Structure 1
Amino acid sequence: MIWDADLYKTKHAFVFEYGNSLIGDWLQPQAGETVLDLGCGTGELTAQLGATGALVTGIDASPEMIATARQSFPEVAFEVGDATNFSLPQQFDAVFSNATLHWVREKEKAINRMYTHLKKGGRLVIEMGGKGNVDSILRTLDRVMQAKGYHYAPFWYFPSPGEYATLLENAGFRVERVHFFDRPTKLADPEKGIVDWLEMFGNHFFANIPENDKQAILQQVQQELRPQVTRDGQLYADYVRLRVAATKI
């Protein structure tokens, strides 16, 4: 998947802005410790981790995101790497991941890579989309696509707390803390926020659909959803988030 790094930073900054409390309240990085930011995107949270005095490395599968991160934060180490098969020459005191792991359908492989790259006793702190995330958008998209003769195929991995905790335990982690919660998320553009969201995060749904039909689908999804996702003139996506803290034992 090719990412539009500029669109990500300008209209979807909430992705990394919501990660601030994950750093301060959950990870609590210490000066001098090594931290891997898995799925670092354009690097804002990686740089924030580095500002604490931690020795941080950011990794992302998107060359476009890494190029933007390196340009914005030249003092931080960034690498291109896939969550399911990356290999770095060191183990870390902590692995941090925000809004990435729901993109990784081969979840056991990603968990293995995180476990392998942690020191014994090292900390894992993640946030990802949880069960029910953006359900209203996906249900509407499914209905509209099928009505227009196209096939909708689920793409993301949104686990329940018990499901993901079990995967971590099976890999050798001790799960310390879990938080599963609704987080309605305001979209940047009150007129076409749903269209922008699907163009940013859901382009894979339209890989073989002509552009005219794609735009018609997007507009219809936006039109049908608008009444139920509008609050005080703003559009909100129905995010459900899963946070987990675990330790390598």
Structure 2
Amino acid sequence: MPNPQNETQQWNAQFYDTKHAFVFQYGEDVINLLNPQAGERILDLGAGTGHLAKKIAGYGCEVIGIDNSPEMVAKAQNAYPEIAFFQKSGADFWFAEPFDAVFSNATLHWIHTPEKVIECVYKALKPGGRFVAEFGGKGNVQRILVALAEALRAKGMNTDVHTNYFPSIGEYTPLLERSGFRVTFAAHFDRDTELDDPENGVIDWIQMFRGFALKELSETAKTEVFAQIKESLRSTNFHDGKWFADYKRLRFVAIKE
């Protein structure tokens, strides 16, 4: 089966906004780490539907957003016409005018060529510019992915669902350093994340981020797979009447020397 966990994945921008708003809501904390200053020129790499780009612009910054998904770019541009959004790959972009900072939230784990991303970011920054990001780290959503894989195997399917790039600090920070960055902060931490729907939150997550694994299933088979997943995860990912995703995040600040 083709690997959809790259920048050709199709995104449902409306479903993303209505059922997965936690993605950009948690990103507001990364903006605090960015510490945007009035007058700065900042690139939002993987801008999605544009909400965080808008918040950064509210600090008096000039913000440009890029995303590889045309659906996301269209929704962002419609919502925030005062900000420029472009469809560009995070591993293959270039701007003539450099940036004071590159910001990225919940994007880098979708791109399997981290060296190319880092190279593009380095070239895009002014000397002394900063690269501030958060994305999935080693072990991210491991329980959900194991439960999904087991439920699919029960249907005779051996689909690879572990298809994101989830590195550890020890894997990722050397890539930054070899490219000329000085890493001034890095953290790999647990963050169980509440999902929107108290009944089907974990299923919504799977349909949004692992929908490719379900395409060959009949509706009846999907219902059975979903029931097995919920039963498997109830003791670990469901508490206080809510579903949680077992997130482990990697967050860093790197300075272009």
Same fold (TM over 0.5): yes
Per the alignment, residue 185 of structure 1 pairs with 193
Per the alignment, residue 129 of structure 1 pairs with 136
1:191-219 Cα offsets, whole Å, 9 max, x none, are 11111001111123335x13433443233
- 2:248 is paired with a residue whose SS is strand
Per the alignment, residue 113 of structure 2 pairs with 106
Per the alignment, residue 203 of structure 1 pairs with 211
Per the alignment, residue 152 of structure 2 pairs with 145
1:60-99 alignment, distance < 5 Å: 60-99=67-106
Per the alignment, residue 246 of structure 1 pairs with 254
TM-score (norm 2): 0.93
Runs of 4+ residues over 4 Å off in structure 1: none
Where structure 1 has 5 or more consecutive residues not aligned to the other structure, the ranges are none
C-alpha contact 1:178 1:245 (8 A) present in aligned 2: yes
- 1:19 is paired with a residue whose SS is helix
Identity of aligned residues (%): 48
C-alpha contact 1:86 1:113 (8 A) present in aligned 2: yes
Per the alignment, residue 160 of structure 1 pairs with 168
Per the alignment, residue 3 of structure 2 pairs with none
State yes or no: 1:229 paired with 2:211.
Answer: no
- Provide the C-alpha distance between the structure 2 equivalents of 1:203 and 1:168, rounded to a whole number of angstroms: 32
Per the alignment, residue 34 of structure 2 pairs with 27
Q: 1:102 Cα shift? A: 0.5
- 2:139 is paired with a residue whose SS is coil
- Residue identity in the other structure for 1:206: L
Q: 1:116 Cα shift? A: 1.3
Q: 1:121 Cα shift? A: 1.0
State yes or no: 1:17 paired with 2:17.
Answer: no
- 1:8 is paired with a residue whose SS is helix
- Residue identity in the other structure for 2:143: S
C-alpha contact 1:60 1:80 (8 A) present in aligned 2: yes
- Residue identity in the other structure for 2:234: R
Q: 1:124 Cα shift? A: 0.4
- Provide the C-alpha distance between the structure 2 equivalents of 1:50 and 1:21, rounded to a whole number of angstroms: 15
Per the alignment, residue 174 of structure 1 pairs with 182
Where structure 2 has 5 or more consecutive residues not aligned to the other structure, the ranges are 1-8
TM-score (norm 1): 0.95
Per the alignment, residue 126 of structure 2 pairs with 119
- Provide the C-alpha distance between the structure 2 equivalents of 1:215 and 1:62, rounded to a whole number of angstroms: 29
